[in-house]
Amino acid sequence: MGRGIVFAVANQKGGVGKTTTAINLAACLASLGRRVLLVDLDPQSNSTSGLGVANDSEHSTYTVLAGTSSFSESALRTAIEGLELLPASRDLAGAEVELVSEENREFKLKGAIQGRSLEYDFILIDCPPSLGLLTINALAACDEVIVPLQCEYYAMEGLSALVDTIEMVRRSINPELEIRGVLLTMFDGRNSICHQVADEVRAHFPGKVFHTVIPRNVRLSESPSHGLPIILYDAGSRGAQSYAELAREVVGEPSAAA
Ligand code: ATP
Ligand code: MG
């Protein structure tokens, strides 16, 4: 088996569904039998708490980036078989500033996960809502970017800044970098704005929008407070079904809904 695929889940706009996507896509890929690592690269530590892990681990993304912990002692098992987590801790907030003066500052994450990519089929990186050094580290380390986009009026605004940043990273530090897909999240079929945004995004990114659309689903918003991915919290919910469908789309298996 070859090297795993590394995805960055990125959008500098806050609250668009990055973490919900990172946790639940990771969990659904693992439930398909894939070996998955979720890297929490956001100082808010939402992927960490969303999987029921405290954000005060001695070993974390921060210590791995700083080179003071090894990868092996930092990745944790989770309640989902096949899913491991590299947890974030509070001190990750300082990394953005501390890294600035370091050599190879854009490549810290890449250096940390590079040697491990044979151990996983997929590595997902949950990015913070900014285009700072942490997100640049994710873009330098990944093969493909998944861009969650909330279906609302201003959704497309700001996307050009992300696309420009991806272009800049491709030109300067990661020539193979690709957008895997824009993922429409919190979709409400009764809301005409949602349909308008979906049409606009598909026109703007032809062939680069996931067929799977994630609906607005209250069970998805409840599950992090229970420290569980949606497939453990409520496997029958529309949210669980949609992330399972996204996982099948990512691995290229035919969708159950098709
Ligand atoms: P940040 O930029 O702060 O990291 P984010 O992009 O990671 O945010 P999330 O934390 O995944 O976004 O989602 C923002 C909020 O919306 C959360 O409260 C989450 O539970 C809720 N949410 C995300 N997706 C859905 C959905 N499909 N249906 C209902 N609620 C959702
Ligand atoms: Mg988040």
The residue whose two tokens read 């399972």 is 244
- More confident site: 153 or 136: 136
- Among 11, 12, 13, 19, the mutation site with the greatest number of ligand 1 atoms within 8 A of its Cβ is 19
pLDDT value, residue 37: 97
- Judge if the beta carbon of residue 246 lies within 6 A of ligand 1: no
Would you say the CB of residue 14 lies under 6 angstroms from ligand 1? Answer: yes
pLDDT per residue as tens digits for the range 96-142: 889 888 899 999 999 999 888 899 999 999 999 999 999 999 999 99
pLDDT digits (tens, 9 = 90+) for 5-44: 999 999 999 999 999 999 999 999 999 999 999 999 999 9
Q: Is 7 left (phi over 0), alpha (psi -120 to 50) or beta?
A: beta
- CB atoms within 5 A of ion ligand 2 belong to 18-19, 46
Determine if residue 188 is left, alpha or beta; phi over 0 gives left, psi from -120 to 50 gives alpha, anything else beta: beta
Q: What is the pTM of this model?
A: 0.96
d(CA 39, CA 61): 7
Q: Which ligand lies nearest the alpha carbon of 185?
A: 1
- Interval 228-249 mean pLDDT: 98
CA distance 53 to 89: 10
